[in-house]
Amino acid sequence: MVVVNELSDDEVDRVFRALADTTRRDILRRTIAAEQSVSALAAAYRMSFAAVQKHVSVLEAAHLVVKRAQGRERLVRADPTTIVRVRRLLDRYEDMWRARVDRLDALLAEPTRSDHRGA
């Protein structure tokens, strides 16, 4: 299966590293729902503003979020383009594993030699 705009191995590594952390997954979820200021995100967690900024930077490096300036605030929103590309990657993995399970099911359903001998 060929998919246009495949992620490079480095991009895949950055995405999965970014998503490996609970806080970053939650930040992504929040920014999918609505654009958020870094300050508003920081208020939602029991950690320092700087720690939340670092989490946002990891998501930004993975291209999962985009940060923009609006006056003195930094607003963060999810990047739907990358999310779609990641979903396509996961769909390919799912297709691959489903095909393997289907082949295994077919092998298990084949009669064996002992089935033909009669017991």
In a domain, residue 95? The reply is yes
pTM value > 0.75:
yes
Residue range(s) defining the domain that contains residue 75: 9-110
Nearest to 32 by CA among 72, 63, 82, 77: 77
- Do 56 and 46 meet the contact criterion of CB atoms below 8 Å apart? no
pLDDT tens-digit map of 16-58: 999 999 999 999 999 999 999 999 999 999 999 999 999 999 9
Residue 4's pLDDT is what?
A: 43
In a domain, residue 115? The reply is no
C-alpha span between 64 and 46 (Å, rounded): 23
The two three-digit tokens of residue 25, written as one number: 């997954």
In a domain, residue 19? The reply is yes
Count of C-beta atoms within a 10 Å radius of residue 53: 17
Q: How many domains does the chain have?
A: 1
Phi and psi, residue 22, nearest 5°: -60, -45
In a domain, residue 74? The reply is yes
Which CATH number characterizes residue 103's domain? 1.10.10.10
